[in-house]
Structure 1
Amino acid sequence: MAFPSRLLPWLAATIFFFIAQCQAKTVTYDWNVTWVTANPDGLADRQVVGINNQWPLPIIEVDKGDRLVVNMHNGLGDKSASIHFHGMYQTNTTEMDGPSMLTQCPVPPGSSITYNFTVNQNGTYWYHCHTDYCYPDGYRQALIVHDNSSYFADKYDEDLTITMTDWYHELTETIAPTFITVDNPTGAEPIPDSFLFNDTLNTKIPVEAGKTYLFRLINIGAFVAQYFYIEDHTMRIVEVDGIYTDEAEADILYISAAQRYTVLVTMKNSTEKNYPIVMVADSQLLDTIPSDLQLNQTNWLEYNSSAAFEQAVMTVSDCSDLNPYDDMGLVPHDRMALLENPDISLDLTVTMQVLDDGADYAFLNDISYTAPKVPALYTVMSAGDQATDATVYGDYTHSVVLEKDQIVEIILNNGDTGTHPFHLHGHAFQMIDRYPPYGPHFYDYADGDPITYNASNHTAFPEYPPRRDTFVLPPQGYFVVRFKADNPGVWFFHCHIDWHLAQGLAMVFIEAPLAIQSSVTIPQQHYGVCEAAGIATAGNAAGNTEDYTDLTGQNKQVAWLPGGFTARGIVALVFSCVSAFLGMGMIAFYGLSDIKKGGGQVQTRREEVREHED
């Protein structure tokens, strides 16, 4: 009896699955996280977060299907920690996602935690601390999932990882108090001191003529996006944020914090010249540019160690004149079709506003994310049937409860003049619209009135929308994304500029909470971390276990300003007061100083000047 031909694809897939399972292995890392001293830009020694007394940190490398186990001991002594494996969907393991006060407690000094999950994805990722300002101190590195079955596996000779990042000479605990403060009412972000390439500068990457290389490009920075190009070489994009794409040629890429591109680059046949690899920081994100800040960095493809290593020649006067590839033009290789007819549509607006303490905060629909007293996942696990009621997660976590398999649409309008790279945990979303697009008009609305999404008047949605987990929101523009709620868990949606996350630019999706209860088991060790940190493991956002709808005592965002004040108003008031004080000072100096008595009259300096003029 002949085997039915229609079943051959199913048989092949089944055989491949079992082969993959047989080949899968457990990859274990034992990490002691401590402070070490580093000076990657050659300008200043500083304390950084090291692993096993080493920095730069180790690159995690696994194969698709492997089990990854990371045993982390917090030896920092004075700082809590965690690990988020950025881009990992954590299917059925939301408890391993890592953000503090969402899926776990922060790991206090002297405590340990184990992350244990199966990697069922492929591509380019990274890991970083997800606890209060900790990853700008160097606690971040690449995570690579190798896949020998990718459609481009036979198209390259060697696989190389390139990270790019902003760099500060001071600890974030020193910088942070100068950021969210009454002394910084405009919310100007701290300016980096340097920009690094593979955690150093002036890197030479040896290459062989004629070979094709797979470059994995990762922005592991906390703030600044980078333009990236290789002089006189074309990049062919094959993956973004772990999603394989059809090949797309690009001369320049714009890579925000947390984004990844994987590109194929074929070398020239001649070895007479070395070629600059160029990073240009997006200066539009910087409120001021210090005279000693080098915005463009040159590293090299080394064809010939005896040839010159020349600095790149910039052909534009401003980075905004560079014209990067628009990731909206990518086509996913798997041809996943547009998710139609969303079950829930969230219309959100980003704003930055000054609150009652005089400091600048970030908002989604007037809510500035404020962490709960109990991790949201632990509220899910302890709330019973009430876990489906968004109330129990608090007024200021901006939690939205999703039902299993709902199609979710997020419309994000930007009322701020800066860009914001938004990241969604647990999913890669479909990017179905963005305006303005990358290119010469990207900053058109930065200095004018915002433009908002109009559901009845928009560009046609792509048939096969590109997908990624981090998408850039244009200045005073908008984007629209969709995803399917098919991964029960507690998932953060937030701006990946770490300063903006600290200001509250985030919200939470509680996805299929009853399914979470039936599928997730939180390890006893994780509960022990909470006990060591003095954090409750049951109750609502306020820690109330008697009445989950009673939020008395919950953490709250700072109070609003008195009625009638706005962010612009308070800033105008501050500067008006400053101007007034300066004016009064000038009057006092020129009008009242050096008072002299002459002929029984009071004579001022102004009158003296008039007398001399006469």
Structure 2
Amino acid sequence: MILKYYITVLIIALTVPSIKGQSYICDDTPENNNGECECSADVCYFKFVIEHLQTLTAYEKNATMGSPGRVYYLDNHNLKPATKNRMVCEDLSECTETHTVDGSTYRSFFAINKRIPGPTLIVNNGATVVVDVFNFLVTEETSIHWHGMHQRKTPWMDGVGYISQCPIEAGGSFRYIFKAEPAGTFWYHSHSGAQRTDGLFGALIVRESEIPIPLPAFEDIPGNHTLTLLDWQREASLNLFVQIHSSLGYFENVNVDQVPTAANTLYVPSCSADGAEIGPIPYWSGIINGKGKYKKISFSNIDLSTFNVESGKTYRFRLIGAQGNYAYKFSVDNHNLTLIATDGYFIVPVVVDYIIVHTGERYDFLLSASHATKTNFLMRAETLEVNCATLVRGSNLQYNDAIAVLTYDKSRVDYAAISNEYTSGKKTCNTQHVCKVANCPFKNYIPSSGFDCSNLHVQELTLLVPPPENQLPKPSEVTMESTWFFNFGFDSTAFTSTVNGRNFILPTMSLQTQGDGGIKSELCKDLSDRCQPDEDDCECVHMISIGSNLSQRTVRFVFSSLNTTRDYSFAHPIHLHGHSFHVVKVGYGSYYSNGSLKDSTKDLTCGVPCLKAPTWTDGITPYIPITNKTIQKDTVIVPAGGYVVVDFIADNPGYWFLHCHIEPHQLEGMALVINELESSKILIRQVCILVGILTGQ
């Protein structure tokens, strides 16, 4: 098996041409700078040019790589030309698209090939993907993570700076080479700082070799029917992150539906239906595929993403959660949604009104274009926010959403009609007409809300196609030695985001290429004990090791969201690199009659404060079943006050990142490294060095 690693990577390295002179399917040149880049070859070449650009601005298409060239401003947003060579673009063949984003916010963003989001890459299952990334950021390093790709045999291509690679320095370049598998809906994004939430992301679609027969017939046009959701801020994410920690902020977006958690901060959270906190960054606006509407901008002054359908046909849509903070509840006016896949795996179809998608998750659904009279419908992604006191969505929160247009008329979108639909066309959900909601991050809505999660929680969804027998985890193999507990909470010495009380800090060198021998002093010390602040053991490189004795055996992770020293809790979307896992159990806390969280689960116990791994209460493991239809994902929401148990097989050597996908939480240190099957590492590093030599990197 080890020899196969060596031979596979050596073949790829020897057969892939060098960066120079390569003909790309997709790059930043006018002829190849497309929003959708589809490749049906066995080896697919793409090129990413990463740079800082400004919203409400267009750029010269033929500018030298790394330079914006002439800059064009919109003339209807009070942006005046600063010099003679700054003008309004009148010839669209000479300039890029003007990125209006939310129609209001003039700010910088990270662009890939002068786009936000980056181009949608579409390849076949099993294809070798080659992406040359050029970093033209002035002062920042970067890296690209291929979210959901298992990177088997290529762990150094996972794209996490200081974990799987050295970051790409400003002015530098890096070639990513990996096999596109598994098939399904995935995405790519920066794993450096907060670049992802400032625009550095895009969709990655891996076409299936075949569609399971039980599914109904549908049209699959991923270039036209893939939606990326993002909660957009009025200023750079890192600026907001600093302001949160310095107790600075602005009052404009704070309203009566929000309540403060501390007297010395201007940033105040809102709540979800179970009373758990959402935030702490106030919601500003939302965008779908880079376009949206700030609440104070007229519909006549915006440009929304549009998705075309024809009456009588059924289409596959792909929904990608690229948000920084907020989960979204997605719906399409006057249409039901038939869920058929999540995180790359087909599921037994279920018909719903709403799909909750947190950051990192993906859900595919079928939409039947059955309307013959109306032509334009709103697609809505609403935050889960409610008034913290009443647990009802207040009037100000009604506008905390992202919207797009589903149209049966390819020729135009009637924005006057859409403006009316925005207030009057939303689904009616009440006790007489209950709306079905999939993937709730809590036990249920109260009946009077008109929403129902029953039988639609993530663990209640089932696989359509069972995995091969040798890929299905076996509960009988699970022991204490193969079980790890991770509490994603705020019981740190600084009351910030932690795993088992520890704030993760990046190592000083790339683990995958250099190994962990040189960072022994940076590693967390005794993980079996509470972290010790006086020994610098609460801010450290948090790493656990899955030893070679567990190779090809079932490993169990227990993710929890317990807080013992603060009076609130959070739901956390947790992503594991290098694997998909089976969600074998979800446990919840207890709730009051109004639906709010009363207390955390009693299945787990942890100290006060919780500064080490929890354990099963009294050593009693609850019943944890698994079948060949148990749902499989790579990102899962851990309910506030509850836990999620996931099983997978340890069969992918490498250093894999495990983290909360909420951007401020990850930046604060809610992450750790999984050191899997360490006996393979020496050879992996040797192969990695060889690949670098052969590919000129």
TM range (shorter): 0.7 to 0.9
Corresponding residue for residue 193 of structure 1? 284
Task: Look up the equivalent residue of 1:36 and give its one-letter code.
Answer: L
C-alpha change, 1:441 and 1:26, in structure 2 (3 Å) is farther
1:470 aligns with 2:635: yes
> Which whole-Å CA distance do the structure 2 matches of 1:290 and 1:136 have between them?
27
Which one is further off, 123-132 or 110-119? 110-119
Corresponding residue for residue 332 of structure 1? 463
> Which whole-Å CA distance do the structure 1 matches of 2:126 and 2:413 have between them?
43
SS at 1:518 equivalent:
helix
C-alpha change, 1:525 and 1:61, in structure 2 (3 Å) is same
> Which whole-Å CA distance do the structure 1 matches of 2:378 and 2:592 have between them?
27
1:28 aligns with 2:28: no
Q: Taking every aligned residue pair, what percent have the same amino acid on both sides?
A: 23
Corresponding residue for residue 419 of structure 1? 571
Q: Residue 120 of structure 2 is aligned with which of 50, 56, 59?
A: 59
Post-superposition offset of 1:506: 1.0
1:125 aligns with 2:202: no
Structure 1's unaligned 5+ residue stretches are: 1-22, 532-614
Alignment of 1:478-497 (within 5 A): 478-497=643-662
C-alpha change, 1:136 and 1:443, in structure 2 (3 Å) is farther
> Which whole-Å CA distance do the structure 2 matches of 1:143 and 1:423 have between them?
17
> Which whole-Å CA distance do the structure 2 matches of 1:64 and 1:370 have between them?
35
| Contact 2:233–2:283 under 8 Å retained in 1 | yes
Alignment of 1:231-270 (within 5 A): 231-268=333-370, 270=372
Post-superposition offset of 1:28: 1.1
Q: Residue 398 of structure 1 is aligned with which of 542, 549, 558?
A: 542
Give a deviation string over 1:102-151, Cα, whole Å, max 9, x none. 11122221111111112132000000000112111100111111124121
Post-superposition offset of 1:334: 2.9
> Which whole-Å CA distance do the structure 1 matches of 2:236 and 2:413 have between them?
40
Structure 2's unaligned 5+ residue stretches are: 1-39, 56-99, 249-261, 268-278, 293-303, 438-444, 528-535, 564-568, 605-615
Post-superposition offset of 1:276: 3.0
SS at 1:176 equivalent:
helix
| Contact 1:224–1:285 under 8 Å retained in 2 | no
Which one is further off, 29-38 or 340-349? 340-349
Corresponding residue for residue 436 of structure 1? 588
Corresponding residue for residue 273 of structure 2? none
1:369 aligns with 2:504: yes
For the pair shown, which has the larger CA radius of gyration, 1 or 2? 1
| Contact 1:69–1:116 under 8 Å retained in 2 | yes
Corresponding residue for residue 129 of structure 2? 68
Alignment of 1:349-364 (within 5 A): 349-353=487-491, 355=493, 359-364=494-499
Corresponding residue for residue 410 of structure 1? 557
Task: Look up the equivalent residue of 2:583 and give its one-letter code.
Answer: M
| Contact 1:30–1:72 under 8 Å retained in 2 | yes
- The alignment's TM-score, normalised by the length of structure 1, stands at 0.74
1:164 aligns with 2:229: yes
Post-superposition offset of 1:78: 1.8
> Which whole-Å CA distance do the structure 1 matches of 2:636 and 2:204 have between them?
19
Q: Residue 323 of structure 1 is aligned with which of 439, 448, 452?
A: 452
Corresponding residue for residue 155 of structure 1? 217
> Which whole-Å CA distance do the structure 2 matches of 1:245 and 1:362 have between them?
33
Give a deviation string over 1:299-322, Cα, whole Å, max 9, x none. 332225688432233646999644
- The alignment's TM-score, normalised by the length of structure 2, stands at 0.65
Aligned residues: 501
> Which whole-Å CA distance do the structure 1 matches of 2:497 and 2:516 have between them?
29
1:522 aligns with 2:688: yes
C-alpha change, 1:286 and 1:239, in structure 2 (3 Å) is farther
C-alpha change, 1:519 and 1:126, in structure 2 (3 Å) is same
Corresponding residue for residue 301 of structure 1? 406
SS at 2:505 equivalent:
coil
| Contact 2:129–2:178 under 8 Å retained in 1 | yes
| Contact 1:105–1:526 under 8 Å retained in 2 | no
Task: Look up the equivalent residue of 1:328 and give its one-letter code.
Answer: Q
| Contact 2:315–2:366 under 8 Å retained in 1 | yes
Corresponding residue for residue 257 of structure 2? none
C-alpha change, 1:435 and 1:401, in structure 2 (3 Å) is same
C-alpha change, 1:244 and 1:285, in structure 2 (3 Å) is farther
| Contact 2:228–2:322 under 8 Å retained in 1 | yes
Corresponding residue for residue 77 of structure 1? 138
C-alpha change, 1:338 and 1:132, in structure 2 (3 Å) is same
> Which whole-Å CA distance do the structure 2 matches of 1:425 and 1:175 have between them?
27
Alignment of 1:510-549 (within 5 A): 510-520=675-685, 521-523=687-689
Corresponding residue for residue 160 of structure 2? 99
> Which whole-Å CA distance do the structure 1 matches of 2:106 and 2:338 have between them?
38
| Contact 1:380–1:513 under 8 Å retained in 2 | no
| Contact 2:463–2:630 under 8 Å retained in 1 | yes
| Contact 2:314–2:369 under 8 Å retained in 1 | yes
1:313 aligns with 2:400: no
SS at 1:283 equivalent:
coil
Post-superposition offset of 1:256: 0.4
> Which whole-Å CA distance do the structure 1 matches of 2:690 and 2:398 have between them?
48
Give a deviation string over 1:380-407, Cα, whole Å, max 9, x none. 38689x9xx9979996222111132232
| Contact 1:381–1:517 under 8 Å retained in 2 | no
| Contact 1:285–1:418 under 8 Å retained in 2 | no
| Contact 1:98–1:130 under 8 Å retained in 2 | yes
